[in-house]
Structure 1
Amino acid sequence: MCRHLGYVGPPASVGELLLRGPHSLRTQSWAPRDMRGGGTVNADGFGVAWWGPEPAAVTRYRNPDPIWTDPAVEEVLPRLTSRAVLGSVRSATVGMPVQRSSCAPFLWDRWAFSHNGVIPQWRTALTAVLSDLDVAATRAGMTRRYETSHLLEAEALTDSAALWVLLRRLLDPDTPAGLAEDPGTALRLLVTTVLHHTPDARLNLLIGDGRALWASTCYHSLSALVTDDLAILSSEPYDDDPRWQSLPDRVVVHAEPGRLHVEPLEPAESTTGGRDA
């Protein structure tokens, strides 16, 4: 499937983060070490988002061609610096379009989003998920509810783009408020609802707002490198730094400089609760 990376820390070169280490995100595009469930290369496009001095200002660059063919990665993006970056390389699911609008990161407001995975029969599954969210909104007494037409807001005809429509509504405090009190709750609610309808979905989601990162693991790999100064979440470690931590399957992660918090995707299954690392 895909590979992605999120960074929050001291100002860093946007392009350098895509190239950092002997097993950089760019290298992972053609030589991944832990691709699960099919695919050997991530050659169906890439993208990167970065935040300005004000975290609400987020910009992105995307290309439907392989990352190793784009000279901007070495000639332009290294000249840009940011305290927060989210990058992704794509391996398109068979039948889904290979075009710029299909490439993560997807943006909304101050948020950037990437999905590593696949949702089988995604149109049917996500319509059912949307219906469940509508029922939950109704029970909560909300007047602004989820409607099937909202899926038409998706930027591309892909499971990832449609999934982002649902997630960004959970992140929006106004449409509708109350279903998700924080980004971790939004990820948990969305992922568990999708799994209810499609148990074999693969749902490694990654979001950032310029200050912190949140992620879910469901089937695919994810590692974390967190110090007092920076936080990085990556599908695969880009170097041999011993501080990398391999994260377990089916968890929700919150990472920011000096803090890594990991909770089970379904807390009821755990007797220990969350942990900070």
Structure 2
Amino acid sequence: PIWADLSFTDLARVVRTQALLAAVRDATLSGADAEAAAAPFASGAWLFSHNGAVPGWPGALAPLAATLPAADLLSLEARNDSAFVWALVLARLRAGDAMGQALADTVAEVAAAAPAARLNLLLTDGVTVAATAWGDTLWYLARPGGGTVVASEPYDDDPHWQEVPDRTLLAASRTDVLLTPLKEPLT
């Protein structure tokens, strides 16, 4: 946790970014993977987090394992629903999908395999934040003068917080917020 990370204060002093992703995860069952099982997951410029859970893990998503290259499966740092969903998103990003498309297609695929899944996915490249609201709450606060906060729920009483409708893709930058309905998965 951030409050126990001895290097956080020093690191926060020198890190600069246009988009930041912070995650608190408690839906993942405890296991041997420890910190590797906790978001954010990272690759290159991308940071990813999953707020939710996939019921029936791992069996519900076992058929989707065949869609990933063996090297991606073998190199997973953690064996939980969030790490696997990240692998699905990352494969799409590496294939050239835009951030929003990678999230939308992954949500559709996972929701088809596990219809009761809660799939609020968050992804940033350091400039833009893309997120899905699927079965769980998601809110955003567009600040006057620039800057947008995306969160599971409002953390203060600012009246400008806006709830993202369920089954929606959000793309946010410092100056813009775009909401796009997500398609229901084919079953």
2:124 is aligned with 1:189: no
SS at match of 1:122: coil
Hey, what does 1:117 align to over in structure 2? 52
Q: Which runs of 5+ in 1 are unaligned?
A: 1-45, 47-66, 135-145, 269-277
d(CA) in 1 for partners of 2:42, 2:29: 24
In 2, Cα distance between equivalents of 1:252 and 1:162:
20
The CA deviation at 1:113 is 0.4
Q: Which amino acid aligns with 2:44?
A: D
Q: Match for 1:170 among 62, 73, 92? A: 92
Change (3 A) 1:127 1:98: closer
Cα distance, 1:92 vs structure 2: 4.1
User: Aligned equivalents of 1:149 and 1:126: distance in 2?
Assistant: 18
Per-residue Cα deviation, 1:41-90 (whole angstroms, up to 9, x for no partner)? xxxxx4xxxxxxxxxxxxxxxxxxxx44x264884455244233211112
Give the length in aligned residue pairs. Answer: 183
**CA distances 1:141-200 after superposition (whole Å, capped 9, x unpaired):** xxxxx345532221111111111111111011xxx45xx3x1111111100111111101
TM normalised by structure 2 equals 0.86
Kept in 2: contact 1:97–1:158 (CA 8 A): no
Between the aligned residues of both structures, percent identity stands at: 36
| 8 Å CA contact 2:139, 2:151 repeated in 1 | yes
Maintained 8 Å contact 1:153/1:165: no
Q: 1:119 touches 1:202 (CA, 8 Å); kept in 2?
A: yes
Q: Is the Cα contact below 8 Å between 1:221 and 1:235 reproduced in 2?
A: yes
Q: CA–CA distance in 2 between the matches of 1:231 and 1:130?
A: 35
Letter in 2 for 1:209: D
- Shift of the alpha carbon at 1:97? 4.3
SS for the counterpart of 1:237 is coil
Change (3 A) 1:123 1:168: same
1:155 counterpart residue number: 77
For 2:13, the aligned partner's letter is R
Whichever residue aligns with residue 131 of structure 2, its letter is A
Partner in structure 2 of residue 30 of structure 1: none
CA–CA distance in 2 between the matches of 1:105 and 1:259?
A: 24
- State the one-letter code of the partner of 2:141: L
Cα 1:200–1:267 change in 2 (3 A) is closer
Larger proportion of strand: 1
C-alpha distance after superposition, 1:230-258 (max 9, x if no partner): 12111122222222111111111100112
Q: 2:22 aligns with which of 75, 78, 87?
A: 87
TM-score (norm 1): 0.60
Residue 129 of structure 2 aligns with which residue?
A: 213
> How much has 1:129 moved relative to structure 2?
2.5
Q: Is residue 101 from structure 1 mapped to residue 36 from structure 2 by the alignment? A: yes
